[in-house]
Amino acid sequence: MSRFLNVLRSWLVIVSIIAMGNTLQSFRDHTFLYEKLYTGKPNLVNGLQARTFGIWTLLSSVIRCLCAIDIHNKTLYHITLWTFLLALGHFLSELFVFGTAAPTIGVLAPLMVASFSILGMLVGLQYLEAEPASRQKKRN
């Protein structure tokens, strides 16, 4: 397996672990969301919204971790890529469309993680597509 895919796998595990921490925080105390993320309209954040955010984050975390384990599963790889695209779209829309988020470190950090992850996964796709051909050559 290429070195790049190994680095990408490590990145996915790290991002997954961080997301699990965010999930726990969302269930423990919903003020986390309006103090760090949705600072534009904190009155819209409640316990139900925080738990929903937590479940969404947990699902994304599990998908990303599974992709790190089985990075050659193209369907799982594409689903994982979509988790980052959806996260990027969510935070951009909350920042620029709905005004519930402000450009603080709490919002900029997930935007950067999602952006870097999308870029890394798009590059990694090239390595995934090149690997079957190199594996076939090694067998012959």
94-102: long-range contacts at Cβ-Cβ below 8 A with a sequence spacing of 24 or more? 94/37, 94/38, 94/40, 98/40, 98/41, 99/40, 99/41, 100/38, 100/40, 100/41, 100/44, 101/37, 101/38, 101/39, 101/40, 102/39, 102/40
Say how far apart CA 110 and CA 107 lie, in whole Å: 6
Average the pLDDT over 49-65 and give the result. Answer: 97
The pLDDT tens digits for 6-48 are 999 999 999 999 999 999 999 999 898 999 999 999 999 999 9
Ranges of each domain in the chain: 3-132
Share the mean pLDDT of the chain.
Answer: 93
68-119 residue pLDDT tens: 999 999 999 999 999 999 999 999 999 999 999 999 999 999 999 999 999 9
Helix ranges (DSSP H) in the chain: 3-28, 31-32, 47-69, 74-96, 105-139
This prediction's pTM? 0.90
Q: How many residues are recorded in the chain? A: 140
> Beta-carbon neighbour count of residue 124 at 10 Å?
22
Q: Are 50 and 36 in contact (CB under 8 A)?
A: no
Element (H, E) at 46: none
